[in-house]
Structures are given as structure tokens and as C-alpha cells.
Amino acid sequence: MRMSFAALFLILLATPATAEPPRAVPASMPQVQLTFAPVVKRVAPAVVNVYARSIVQAPMNPLFANPLFAQLFGAMRQRVRQSLGSGVIVRGDGVILTNNHVVTGGTDIVVALSDKREFKARVLLADPRTDIAVLKIDPHGEKLPTVEFADSDRVQVGDLVLAIGDPFGVGQTVTMGIVSALARTQVSASDYQFFIQTDAAINPGNSGGALVTTDGKLAGINTSILSRTGESIGIGFAIPANLARRVLEGALGGGVKLAWIGADGQQVTADIAASLGIAVPNGVLLKSVYPGGPAAKAGLHTGDVIFSVDGQPVDDMQSLNYRIATKKAGETVRLHVHLGRKPADINVALALPPENPPRELQPVGGRNPLTGARIENLSPAVATELQLPLTANGVVIVSVTPGTPSGGYGFQPGDIVRGVNGIAIHNVGELQKALTGATAWALVIDRGNQRMTLNVQG
């Protein structure tokens, strides 16, 4: 039956403008032989190489394994360390996304364009929580090629994707694969891990490069691989574009201030689901809810379960943190929850984690085991930044300087000082006072789920 033009026009009017084109497998050999060359030609000029050089102190003699001992005998020398990665131009005036681990510690960062021109770059922001860094180069008024962001929530398992970067420094390389999995959360130590998994070949040097859809949009920032050899075995991970875009907005607007829900939780196991009367084991069981925080104000309590955020499922704390981090403080999200053993939908107004008590960031000086460290009071804001438990309190070590006593004794960022010489430590002032004037120190330190004691004689 032939259809009139008027009838066809009415059907087109009735079709939603946002309807996606149907997805289909190739139906003929000409379709199989289609090429991605036009997409690569458009996107590749916006993918760059990133070189980060830094000066590190190294022992001149391998016998001086302890840096403090080597420094004492003047046996240290300076060595130039260079890391190689990739990056993606996302603004024509020279704003570039890459991985934080590509530029960490770098004092001299150089970006090389696909046409081999090189520019010195400055770091606008480097965020270890998300492993995203934002760089800026000066193209002297030239508008550089860019890659448009995709909505990474629309990416599906089985979609074809291209990975573009500079593996092993051999030069810009394009590989193809599919999206193997979504929402991978048990891959790294980040609280905001929520990776797109792909079998497109990703190798050292690809970090910070582009994972693009077949229509040439940025689906994610390639960041890591799972491998026993250090080379690609077809399991690579990319940070979703939606989180990368959120970090970019923060870098250009006064800093990354990730929204906070004020709760901590764990994955719902089969046993937990059975005990709560939940048919299928999914969601996040709340272990703690910060008093006066967004979750508490919305009526959530310890023992409640969050199943989804704005319709997107969450199955562990990392996926919940990711969904919240892609929102802004002040926004309201819709949660589907198990509230008091009954399903419900509630609205939660997100906020920034409070700095209560105030940070009081201070360096530790003088003659004691913590000399060279920086310390501050723990608050929800600090705990969130350092990926510590929501209820953590006391005094935390924020950074440690190599070659100082704090570095020599093995202290690490995130260590919480609980006591010195039998005195309980609650704030920075108490810690500074307890360290001063002593000739021996017995320190009690919490690191993760471990409590350690260090005894040092002056």
C-alpha cells in the first residue's frame, strides 16, 4: 500500500524529536566495510601528548637505601623523571583534560599537538579524587580543534568505541573495540571510580587520552588497564565524560566542589537482602548518616537502602558517590529507597560537606618524628577529600615531605594521629603541644582499618 505525502508528514510530526535512531548489526558486506576514517580525521587533531618532567632526589649509591641515611652523608643526587601521557582538547582556547596521575609532581609540563607543535602548559586543577587534571596552553589566539562531550549515561554495553592516544610514545594511535561493561567500581582506590570498561587496546601512554563514540564525541578519559604484564590484554577503563565535564566546570569556576549526600554505606549482599525482605540483592545499605546532612534532612537513617539516583541504579558506595558527584550542590535528586523496610521515593537537596571543625592546616616543625608533615583537623569536607570514613575525626596527616623525618618513618597522607605519649589527640593544637619538648615519642596512628604504634627515641 502506498502512503500519501500528507500521511507521511503527519507520522513525522508525531515522532518525538528526541527519539534515538534504531541500533542494528551490519546487514550486508558494504555495511561491514564502512570506515571510521572520517571520525578519526575530525577527532584526532584534538588529542595531544602530555610530557611531565620533575626533579627527584635519588641515592648516588644503592647501598644508601634509606633516604634519610643517604641525605645525612650527602649521598643524594638530582634526577630528572619524565612521564608520558595523552590529553584531550575540550576548549578551543587551549583547555585540555588529562589524568591527574600523568602530571602529578611535574614541574615542567609540555603539550605536543598532533601537528608536532609544542606548548608549555600550566595546571589549572589536578584532582586526585577523580584522577582528572585540567591543563591550559596558550595557542596565541588560534582556535584549536576540540572534542565534544557525549552524555556518558547514554553509552551502552556493546557500543563501538575508539581509543586515541600515544601508547609507549610511538606516536598517535587509534584502536577500536566495544564497551565491554559499565559502572565498574572495584578497580582502583578512588571513591569516585565508576569506569567504562572497553576492549579497545589501551597501553601505557594512553592515560588521559580520548575514548570516543562512533559519532566522534568524548565518552570518557582513558585512565588505566588491568594487566599482569603492564600491556593491554583487552581490559581497559575510562573515566566517564559526565564526571570529567563536572571537574572541568569546577576548574574553570573556582575549584572542584563535589556535592555531598552525607551518608556512607555498603553493597547489599544476598544475606542482607534476605534479612531486609528485598527480592533482588542490589542497592547501598547505609552504615552511617551524618547528623544534619542532606540524607538526614531527607529522613534517611542507618539501615535504609538507596536503590537509585534520578533513575540511575547504584549498587555500592562508589557508584552512589559518582552519581552524587555529577550533580551540583544545591540541586535536588530523586532517590528510590527502602525506607523503614518499605519502598519509597524521596527528594534530597544536595550540599557541600561542612568544614566543622575548621581545618587549621599547619606544618609540623621542630625535632620530632612528624617533622615535614602537614596536618589538619578532620571534618566531613576533609574526610571526603582524603577518602576517609564519613565519621572520621581527630587530626589527619595531609602530606609528607620526602627526605624529612615524617617521610623516613613512613607516614602517609590519610594517617590519623590518635595519641602521643599516652595523651589522646583531638585537634591540631593538642598534637603540636604533645610533640614539642619531648625526647621520646610513642605515637598511635590509625591507617585504614589498622591501628599502629610507633616508638621513637630522640
Residue for grid cell 600515544: 166
Q: Interior CA angle at 190 toward 288 and 155, to 5°?
A: 105
- The dotted CATH code for 152-252 is 2.40.10.10
Which candidate, 414, 353, 361, 349, places its Cα nearest to that of 380?
353
Cell of 436: 614539642
CATH code reported for the domain at 263-349: 2.30.42.10
Distance CA 151, CA 220 (A): 10
Separation of alpha carbons 15 and 342, rounded Å? 38
Cβ contacts of 163 within 8 Å, gap of 6 or more? 174, 175, 176, 177, 198, 200, 201, 202, 206, 209, 210, 211, 212, 222, 236, 238
- The residues that are catalytic are 101, 131, 207
The pLDDT value given to residue 87? 94
pTM of the model: 0.75
State phi, psi for 329 to the nearest 5 degrees.
-55, 135
The helix-helix angle for 317-325 and 241-252 (nearest 10°) equals 50
Residue ranges for the chain with pLDDT beneath 70: 1-22, 31-33, 54-81, 186-192, 227
Asked, colleague to colleague, whether 152-252 and 263-349 share their fold, the answer is no
3-class secondary structure, 272 = helix
- pLDDT, position 54: 65
**CATH number corresponding to 43-136:** 2.40.10.10
Task: Give the CA count within 13 Å in the CB-facing half-sphere of 136.
Answer: 10
What is the C-alpha to C-alpha distance for residues 184 and 164, in angstroms, rounded to an integer? 21
Q: What is the pLDDT of residue 191?
A: 59
How is domain 362-457 classified at the CATH fold level? Pdz3 Domain (2.30.42)
Residues 6+ away with beta carbon under 8 Å from 297: 348, 349
- Torsions phi, psi of 304, nearest 5? -75, 160
Decide: 332 and 339 in contact? Cβ < 8 Å: no
Domain ranges, ordered by start, for the chain: 43-136, 152-252, 263-349, 362-457
Cis before 343? omega within 30: no
DSSP 211-239: EEETTS-EEEEEEEE--SSSS-SS-EEEE
CA distance 87 to 50: 6
Residue 297 to residue 426: CA distance in whole angstroms: 27
Q: What element of type H or E holds 100?
A: helix 100-103
Instruction: For residue 344, give the 3-state DSSP assignment.
Output: strand
Termini Cα distance of the chain: 97
Residue 397 and residue 382 in contact, taking contact as beta carbons nearer than 8 Å: no
pLDDT at 372: 94
**What separation in angstroms does the CA of 207 have from each of 172, 195, 210, 212, 330?**
12, 13, 9, 14, 33
